[in-house]
Amino acid sequence: MKLFPESAVVQLEFEKIKTLLETHCKTEYARQKAGDLRIHTRLSFIELELRQSHEYRQLLQNSVYFPNDFIINLSKDLKLLGIPGAVMSGEQLVNIRKLAENIQNIFRWFDNERRLAYGGLAQVIEGTYYEKGIQAMINEVVDEHGVVLDNASEELRKIRMSLYKKRADLRRAFERVVQKLNKQGYLADIEESFLNGRRVLAVFAEQKRMIKGILHGESDTRKTAFIEPEETIELNNDVYSLENDEKREVYRILRALTAKLSAYADLLKAYLNVTGEYDFIRAKARFAQDYNGEYPVVVDKAHIHLVNAYHPLLFIYNKRQEKPTIPVSLTLDDKNRILVISGPNAGGKTVTMKTVGLNQMMVQSGLLVPVHPSSQFGIFKQLMIHIGDTQSLEFELSTYSSHLKNMKHFMETANGKTLFFIDELGSGSDPNLGGAFAEVIMEELARKHAMGIVTTHYLNLKVMANKTPGIINGAMAFDEMSLMPLYKLIIGKPGSSYTFSIAERIGLDKRLINRARALVDENHFSLDKLLNRTEQDLRELEKREKELAKLMKENERLKKEMEQVMDKEKHRQQVELLKQQNKITEDRIDYLKDMDRKMKQILIEWKKTTDKEKVMKEMFNLLFKKDEHKVVNKLQKKIDSKFDEIGGDIQVGIKVKMKRNHQVGEVIELRGKRAVVKIGLLPMQVDIKDLVAVKEKNISGS
């Protein structure tokens, strides 16, 4: 993206964003990338960067571990792999092995399911592969501390074995000498030491001629002499020689391993870039958590649709101060390309402008932004800004001259892919003349299809915005009673500067205020007063709309509660009906059990007695006598006490009793041989032959 002027990154505070992002980086690669953060214009690149940041933020929010733990800067170490004959140290090899292990963990983390779920993150390793041979080669040579292993070569194994034996012999011989001289009282308190890599005796200076050996030096006080005893000279020489042999063999082994690893120099550099890239993505995700960054929609055209957008730096500051931040919502598209914001000073006009500009720069650099996810950002190829006093002492330009010079550049270079911001358009000159030039500038920018935001106090620009296609008005809300800005943008209407209201509230002499009013053109004053009144009416309307929305919400809550109560009552009636039906079933079961018992008794009597006719009579009475086979239960008694059977045809609207379960209901519909009977709140279908018409008894008359 082309920026004008070059200081735009400072004026819109994009440099501060880069600095804060850098504090979240752990690797040198990521810190450098944050410092060089660019604003891109290619949709595919922007989409990928935003998606990667969004996916990593999801990992952080869900506490999912991602294995990007390697943060050591190996760029200089890896350069050795490209130099013939270079030798890497054991410590450097250990770091390379850690790098390879980290890449291995990353490849293992991306199983098939995660490659689909986190496609943006997976794309970082798309162009590389994991080579297990790197770890295998290093494991054969050095241990976890970077020390070359004994079995790294057969020659080294033999040298270290011999060295081990010689050191043991040297230790035993030295200890014998120490014991002997200690008894003779020749040794100082420290007894022994190491000097020039050789084991020596600490002897009192006056006794040094009593001991055969090599004098290696004396203490600073010259009271102690350091002597290598004659008995250990040859052994010390052997150890020294073997140690040199060991160093040469270790050097040869490390050089050979470095030569082998040089074949993977490019791959290892790619590994280092992968870990740095994931660190940079992690930094962007963690930074986004500081200001509630979201993943908006990005479209490849000049378009801005912000829903609840915050200025990220202001949001972070207010969060630390535990203060609220007011979001801004606005739309700039093909129909409404330029927004003219008016209102009192310190009302938030410039902050609104910077909020839009900074969020746009962040999106095009691949950073998540503090907006609602439904927000849409277009892609602009150049961004131009004019904020504050740009007076140049070097070129002897006045504020207005500098202003016009910038406007000249705006008009000459603006196009359909330009996003511009102009603070206080036309200021610095005669209001009438400056206002006229401001109208010409806005017309030219609108003609070139540029998109942007202009702040102003000029009434002629407010009027122009209402009648010029492509230009719309906006106002920063202001509480006239408390004289406090509300920092809320209202689209579609111009705002008042509240000049006289502010003067009255701060206690300025009314005589002076009236004199000022008299000097102002009547039409000008009437228009400002009308804007003032309109804004207050609009705020009152918004207040009533909020109250209405609150009442509607309460009404909806009561409606849901009523539905829940009705559902509970319906459920209770269903349960009660089931209880009654279960009670009837239990009575029938008891009746059948009693019948079974009596039938078994009759069968026993049939087998015993000779009077078969008597037994048959008992059976007949049991099965067919009405008074005995009728099931009498509490429900039947209750129904019979309230209703009389009247018989007759079953018709809609009459009361009927169900013969089987003795329930009483009202017939609401006839369907052939079945009737729909409403019992309580529940309608149910019953065969007409199982119904009998009833009427309520006149209890009072009885």
Return the SS3 of 669: strand
Strand partners, 695: 644
Residue for token pair 């500098």 = 402
Residue 277 is inside which H or E element, if any?
Answer: helix 265-290
pLDDT at 90 over 90: yes
Nearest 5°: phi and psi at 209?
-80, -10
Q: Which two tokens stand for residue 180?
A: 């002997």
Q: Which residue has the higher pLDDT, 533 or 1?
A: 1
Highest mean pLDDT of the ranges 76-80, 219-223, 527-531: 76-80
Query: How far apart (Å, rounded) are the C-alpha atoms in residues 80 and 142?
Result: 18
Strand partners, 475: 342, 490
Q: What is the pLDDT of residue 395?
A: 38
Q: How much of the chain is in helix, strand and coil states, percent to nearest 5?
A: 55, 15, 25
- Span 12-48, pLDDT tens digits: 999 999 999 999 999 999 999 999 999 999 999 999 9
Triad 293, 12, 463: Cα angle to 5°: 105
Q: Which two tokens stand for residue 359?
A: 């969020």
CA distances to 93, 303, 484 from 90, in Å: 5, 56, 67
Q: Which residues contact 457 (CB under 8 A, 6 or more apart)?
A: 342, 424, 427, 497
Arithmetic mean of pLDDT, 174-179: 84
Nearest 5°: phi and psi at 127?
-95, 10
Q: What sign does the CA torsion over 52, 57, 62, 68 have?
A: positive
Q: What is the pLDDT of residue 459?
A: 78
Q: Which two tokens stand for residue 698?
A: 């006149």
Residue 495: pLDDT band (50, 70, 90) is: low
Q: Name which of 646, 640, 597 is nearest 622 in CA terms.
A: 597
Q: Which two tokens stand for residue 50?
A: 């935003």
pLDDT at 521 over 60: no
Strand partners, 199: 194
For residue 95, the tally of other CB atoms under 10 A from its CB is 19
Lowest model confidence (mean pLDDT) among 40-44, 196-200, 249-253, 504-508:
504-508
Query: How far apart (Å, rounded) are the C-alpha atoms in residues 441 and 691?
Result: 91
- Span 334-376, pLDDT tens digits: 999 999 998 776 668 889 999 999 999 999 999 999 999 999 9
Are the beta carbons of 275 and 103 closer than 8 angstroms?
yes
Triad 643, 645, 651: Cα angle to 5°: 100
Whether CATH 2.30.30 fits 636-696? yes
Triad 492, 497, 501: Cα angle to 5°: 125
- Span 93-113, pLDDT tens digits: 999 999 999 999 999 999 999
- Average pLDDT value over all residues in the chain: 84
Are the folds of 13-148+261-290 and 636-696 the same? no
pLDDT at 332 over 90: yes
CATH code of the domain made up of 304-499 = 3.40.50.300
pLDDT at 301 over 70: yes
Q: Which residue has the higher pLDDT, 554 or 3?
A: 3
Whether CATH 1.10.1420 fits 152-247? yes
pLDDT at 122 over 90: yes
Q: Where are the domains of the chain?
A: 13-148+261-290, 152-247, 304-499, 547-628, 636-696
Query: How far apart (Å, rounded) are the C-alpha atoms in residues 450 and 335?
Result: 12
324 cis-preceded (ω within 30 degrees of 0): no
Triad 18, 392, 341: Cα angle to 5°: 65
Arithmetic mean of pLDDT, 267-292: 96
Q: Which residue has the higher pLDDT, 403 or 273?
A: 273
pLDDT at 506 over 50: yes
Gap between the terminal Cα atoms of the chain? 100
Residue 619 is inside which H or E element, if any?
Answer: helix 612-624
Are the beta carbons of 666 and 694 closer than 8 angstroms?
no
pLDDT at 505 over 70: no
pLDDT at 243 over 80: yes
Outline where 28-153 has alpha helix (H): 28-35, 43-61, 75-79, 90-109, 112-117, 119-122, 132-139
Q: Name which of 505, 532, 528, 533 is nearest 517 in CA terms.
A: 528
Q: What is the pLDDT of residue 270?
A: 95
Cα 415 off chain centre by = 36
Q: What percent of the chain has pLDDT over 70?
A: 84
Q: Which fold has domain 13-148+261-290?
A: MutS, DNA mismatch repair protein; Chain A, domain 3 (1.10.1420)
Residue 198 is inside which H or E element, if any?
Answer: strand 198-204
At 599, the amino acid letter reads M
Residue 393: pLDDT band (50, 70, 90) is: very low
Are the beta carbons of 669 and 675 closer than 8 angstroms?
yes
- Span 590-644, pLDDT tens digits: 777 777 777 777 777 777 777 777 777 777 776 655 444 444 456 677 777 788 8
Q: What sign does the CA torsion over 462, 464, 469, 471 have?
A: negative
With b for 16 or more beta-carbon neighbours within 10 A and e for fewer, the 237-258 pattern comes to ebbeebeebbeebbeebbeebb
Q: Which two tokens stand for residue 663?
A: 């329930």
Q: What is the pLDDT of residue 286?
A: 97
pLDDT at 702 over 50: no
Are the beta carbons of 303 and 337 closer than 8 angstroms?
no
Are the beta carbons of 34 and 360 closer than 8 angstroms?
no
Q: Name which of 584, 580, 588, 563 is nearest 680 in CA terms.
A: 580
